[in-house]
Amino acid sequence: MKNTITRRKFLATVGLGAGAAALAACGAPTAAAPAKGPAGAPATASGKLEIFSWWTNGGEVDGLNAMYDIYKKSYPGVEIINAAIAGGSGAGGNAKAVLKTRMLGGDPPDSFQVHLGRELIDTWAVADKMENLNDLYKSEGWNDSFPPGVIALASDKGNAYSVPVNIHRSNVIWYNTKLFGQIGQNAAPATWDEYFSIAEKLKAKGIPMAAMSGSGAGFQGHEFENIALATLGYDGYMGLFSGATSWGDAKIKSSFETLKKMLDYSVPNYAALDWGATDPLVVEGKAASDIMGDWTNGFYKSKNFTDWGWAPAPGTKGIFLALSDSFGLPKGVKNKDNVINWLKLCGSKAGQDAFNPLKGSIPARKDADLSKYDSYQKQAISDFATNKIAGSIVHGAAAKESFVNDYNNVIAEFVTTKDVAGAHQKLVDAAKVAGYK
């Protein structure tokens, strides 16, 4: 069972470890329960269902709407309130700020988008803000449908707290084939050396290699975790969270040097651009490439953009940097029954196979209908099963939210100051506060 081994490594990344995986696997029913969609539920359901997310861009919004459509067909009497909030620092920064205010103020949305791993567990489950979903996992057969490693990321002490709707890969370089074609380049760079040699050739033609954002935090942190993964290698990167690697490591420092160099080949006005402005730069031919997660695949689809190629981000072949979006049931919601039906849909094969082909991600379930997925996604499904799995920092899987915020802020500031030693020291200080080495 090679999948179990790689997914255990994903667990180790987020500090859960193989014991938790075994626990999650042991909880599985002996006979596979059929995966139930929402179809059998009472059509008489009424009232509202408020779904909170930061999905407002092309691709993600299409995936969300595809799930809403299924829900509305099953429960025509329920009014869905789409409480999506765009923009902000970090991935979903504005949404997360509003979410925090509402959760702490006793006004939780019926269900909200939350990253599997440390974000779900440390921010919400441990704080006792979420209902335990063990019964739903049993009745829907999810202990069999999801890989044990994914279940463990949704769980704390053997109790499940949310339903994963996808798996995203965050270490991908996307490139505009027409712009690369202008310098006779027909493949993505496999290493950072190759990246800069392509970047130099493009620069000579006045084409920026990199889409970049300098306004708000998060995008730069995403670039940095990709560089650090390549520079430290899989074990070194994993060690940042287990304590085996020090954040003071010279390779972290050299990752800052690489990011600094990348800025020399970025779109010149990046200081004014926010996260959402980066994908369009490649589509519009204003930047040749973008190191981003595979929501970019969903975005390209939504724009009917086809002149693109991809590869694992430089130096990260064989590693799948992963994150997962999920939905849960906050304590004290107004429309609990409607949420349960929403969660059933999120975890169902029908829901995941409607959502993910548009979102750009792959399903969290093991039984996807492959015919619904594009060639990028088929490769991602295969890579997720065979690659080493590491967790993303920026997207909530690997590290707790307080550290993610500090990390994002340090790296965003660095993009302005370009002070390698100063930024490295600040990151080391933040890591210490978070209990890392």
Q: Does 112 bind ligand GAL (CB under 6 A)?
A: no
Q: What is the dihedral of CA 57, 63, 65, 71, to 10 degrees?
A: -150
Q: Does 91 bind ligand GAL (CB under 6 A)?
A: yes
- Element spanning 174, H or E: strand 172-176
Window of 53-61, 65-73, 77-85, 120-128 that interacts with ligand GAL by CB under 6 A: 53-61
Q: Half-sphere exposure (CA, 13 Å, Cβ side) for 265? A: 21
Cα 262 from Cα 223, distance rounded (Å): 10
Size of the site for ligand GAL (CB under 6 A): 11
- Element spanning 413, H or E: helix 401-417
Cβ proximity to ligand GAL: between 10 and 55 the closer is 55
Cβ proximity to ligand GAL: between 166 and 338 the closer is 166
User: Residue 382: helix, strand or coil by DSSP?
Assistant: helix
Beta bridge partners of 389: 320
CB of 89 to ligand GAL, least distance (A): 11
CB of 14 to ligand GAL, least distance (A): 15
Cβ proximity to ligand GAL: between 75 and 174 the closer is 174
Residues 233-292 that bind ligand GAL (CB under 6 A): none
User: Given candidates 325, 353, 383, 401, which one binds ligand GAL under the rule CB under 6 A?
Assistant: 325
Q: Does 62 bind ligand GAL (CB under 6 A)?
A: no
Cβ proximity to ligand GAL: between 166 and 245 the closer is 166
Cα 294 from Cα 314, distance rounded (Å): 15
Q: Where are the alpha helices (DSSP H) in 87-131?
A: 93-104, 118
User: Given candidates 60, 131, 156, 401, which one binds ligand GAL under the rule CB under 6 A?
Assistant: 60
Window of 52-60, 152-160, 343-351, 400-408 that interacts with ligand GAL by CB under 6 A: 52-60
395 neighbors 91 (Cβ within 8 angstroms):
yes
Q: Does 55 bind ligand GAL (CB under 6 A)?
A: yes
Residues 6+ apart with CB under 8 A from 415: 212, 214, 220, 259, 263, 270, 271
Helix 250-263 and helix 420-433, axial crossing angle in degrees, nearest 10: 130
Beta strand residue intervals within 227-381, DSSP E: 289-292, 308-312, 319-323, 325-327
User: Given candidates 8, 301, 344, 395, which one binds ligand GAL under the rule CB under 6 A?
Assistant: 395
x/- string (CB under 6 A) for ligand GAL, residues 184-223?
A: ----------------------------------------
Q: Does 103 bind ligand GAL (CB under 6 A)?
A: no
Q: Are strands 47-53 and 111-115 parallel, antiparallel or unpaired?
A: parallel
Q: Does 96 bind ligand GAL (CB under 6 A)?
A: no
281 neighbors 436 (Cβ within 8 angstroms):
no
Q: Does 168 bind ligand GAL (CB under 6 A)?
A: yes
173 neighbors 291 (Cβ within 8 angstroms):
yes
Q: Does 323 bind ligand GAL (CB under 6 A)?
A: yes
Q: Does 169 bind ligand GAL (CB under 6 A)?
A: no
User: Which letter does DSSP use for residue 36 in this model?
Assistant: P
Residue 87 CA, chain-centre distance (Å), reads: 16
x/- string (CB under 6 A) for ligand GAL, residues 336-375?
A: ----------------------------------------
Window of 54-62, 235-243, 411-419, 427-435 that interacts with ligand GAL by CB under 6 A: 54-62
Cα 201 from Cα 204, distance rounded (Å): 5
CB of 168 to ligand GAL, least distance (A): 6
> Footprint of ligand GAL on this chain (CB under 6 A)?
54-55, 60, 91-92, 115, 168, 295, 323, 325, 395
